[in-house]
Structure 1
Amino acid sequence: MAKSIYKYGAVDALIRRVQRLSPDQIPYWGSMNATEMLHHCNLANEAILNAPKSSKKPTFKQRILKLTFFHIKKDFPKGARAAKRFDVKGQIDQVAFDTEKTKYFELVEKFKNLNKKLQGGHPVFGSLNHYYWGRFVWKHLDHHLKQFGV
């Protein structure tokens, strides 16, 4: 069965993993430190939670990428580049770790208690429905937690 942020226990499992994260943890790959990673995830989750419904039709390329990412690939690709607005390398001080960690907890908890269906657009995959957003969020957060070994 596909993993999703909406599955029972998924949010609690992500929170437990982040509780094991420390500000000085070295990533297995990538260039972000732990504070930057949390900030990056927080920015992405805020954008997803607040995205307006997309009316754009996906391109053929977006449909192929969506099929591959959600139905063929098991994990989020390690070399994937973030959209420019989510690239936070060097933009947040490591002393903000506890603040970013608390915000992370608050934002992922919102996925447990949504009062709407997510329907926003994604720059790579085009319009995603609630089901695909649940899978995307889980894969994205899992990817970054694996990046730091938690």
Structure 2
Amino acid sequence: MKKNLLVEKDTNELIARALTLTPDNKGHWGNMSVTTMLKHCNVVNTAILSYDQAPKAPTIKQRFLLVGLYLMKELPKSVKTRPEYVNFKEDELEFAHEKNIFMQTIAEYIDYPKTLTAIHPVFGPLNTKEWGRFGWLHMDHHLRQFDV
């Protein structure tokens, strides 16, 4: 079975990896610092978990792209993201705080009580299981970026 944030064992694996992060970790690709990466993940996960609108139907193109999501073992490197998910002032961020929020937020996916209905900018509307899978891939991607 493919790893998923909805599965406690899979999420705990990511948390264990995150525990090894330090402010000195350097990224192997992209421009984010480790603290900015954590903030990025926190903002994205908070948006997914707090989205509260009725689900929408995906387009045929989005469904086709979603098949690719399930086939992926890992996300490609250096993919552009929306500015609101990366434009943070580094001097306003605190590593330990962002790291704690990161671990708390991904743990919320385990037994999450509501249906997830957020809309991904590429894949379109995803259901709870799909968000769990994409979330795991996304968190794994950024932890690998910083060598953990």
TM-score (norm 1): 0.90
Unaligned runs of 5+ in 2: none
Residue type of the alignment partner of 1:62? Q
Conserved 8 A contact 2:36-2:93: no
In the alignment, what sits opposite 1:32? 32
1:29-61 Cα offsets, whole Å, 9 max, x none, are 111010000000000000010112454332232
CA distance in 1, matches of 2:61, 2:79: 16
CA distance in 2, matches of 1:32, 1:5: 23
User: Counterparts in 2 of 1:1-150, with a 5 A limit?
Assistant: 1-70=1-70, 72-88=71-87, 91-93=89-91, 96-150=94-148
CA RMSD of aligned residues (A): 1.7
Number of aligned residues: 148
Q: Specify the SS of the correspondent of 1:41.
A: helix
Shift of 1:17: 0.6
Residue type of the alignment partner of 1:104? F
Q: Specify the SS of the correspondent of 1:111.
A: coil
Conserved 8 A contact 1:23-1:94: no
Identity of paired residues, percent? Answer: 39
CA distance in 1, matches of 2:141, 2:48: 17
Unaligned runs of 5+ in 1: none
Conserved 8 A contact 2:4-2:11: no
Residue type of the alignment partner of 2:12? D
Conserved 8 A contact 2:45-2:105: yes
CA distance in 1, matches of 2:142, 2:3: 15
4+ residue stretches of structure 1 with deviation over 4 A? none
Conserved 8 A contact 2:3-2:133: yes
Q: Specify the SS of the correspondent of 1:23.
A: coil
